[in-house]
Amino acid sequence: MTVPAVAVAGACYTYPDGRLAVADVSLRLDPGDSLGLIGPNGAGKTTLFHLIAGLLVPERGTIEVFGTRYGAGDDRQVRRRLGLVFQETEDQLFSPRLFDDVAFGPLNFGLPAAEVRARVEDALRKAGLDGFEDRVPHHLSCGERRRAALATVLSYSPDVLILDEPSNDLDPRGRQELVRLLRRMGEARLVASHDIELVLRTCGRVAIMDMGRIVASGATAEVLSDRSLLQAHGLELPLGLRGLGAAELERLLEGDA
């Protein structure tokens, strides 16, 4: 039986002000799988991602990464298998040169200098930023910064990519570049986004989160074709996709490869 890349069982987390952020959430992500997480603002999506990435500790429940539970061994090695791309690129790009930002992870994990350089070049190539090593991160376009932030985690070869609102601030061209990039990747992916069309085009499954709970999950086309379900949780398809059934959404996804 396949060991899940990520297994969350009954996770709960309460903010310091007493507000429940994540309430008894369970989900499974298999190697190579892609799961989109959608829901209204304040649903708990970012908090759940921070729990999975080990930045927060659940009050109850368990989180396992490839069968290893946080606190049961070397958590640093567990986190190495996960690559979290934050919602705000400024949280990930803070050095005077892009090379230094992309090299931060491999250096932190103790890799030798020659391997670090090779990994930086490979990560930038995968992100479509060949030759950008000496560029100043805050001089990049929004789309370039999004791809640069992704390169900072690709450089240490995580098995799971966790992307929080990856299409924020992107123009149509940058968004399409991001979609093509994600569709080429073989790593397991968790994607939280208000951009439902991006989720449709990049994720095989989707889960709806509302008020800290997973309220529905399933094949992406099936969930997104349920208009009443989406409306019940403050969601709707983009105008150009409304009225399409599951089979039509599935064909759209397959034709976009």
Average pLDDT over the chain reads 91
Cα–Cα distances in angstroms (integers) from residue 238 to residues 61, 169, 195, 216, 241, in the given order: 35, 17, 9, 20, 6
Q: pTM of this prediction?
A: 0.90
Residue 257's pLDDT is what?
46
Residue 96's pLDDT is what?
94
- Look at residue 19 and tell me whether its pLDDT is greater than 50: yes
Backbone angles phi and psi of 34, in degrees to 5: -135, 125
**pLDDT per position as a tens digit, 57-95:** 999 999 999 999 987 767 878 888 999 999 988 889 999
Structural domains in the chain plus CATH codes: 1-81+160-170+187-257 (3.40.50.300), 89-157 (no CATH)
Residue 256's pLDDT is what?
56
Q: Band of the pLDDT at 249, cuts 50, 70, 90?
A: confident
As a three-state string, the secondary structure of the chain is CCCCCEEEEEEEEECCCCCEEEEEEEEEECCCCEEEEECCCCCCHHHHHHHHCCCCCCCEEEEEECCEECCCCCHHHHHHCEEEECCCHHHCCCCCCHHHHHHHHHHHCCCCHHHHHHHHHHHHHHCCCCCCCCCCHHHCCHHHHHHHHHHHHHCCCCCEEEEECCCCCCCHHHHHHHHHHHHHCCCEEEEECCCHHHHHHHCCEEEEEECCEEEEEEEHHHHHCCHHHHHHCCCCCCHHHCCCCHHHHHHHHHHCC
Residue 81's pLDDT is what?
93
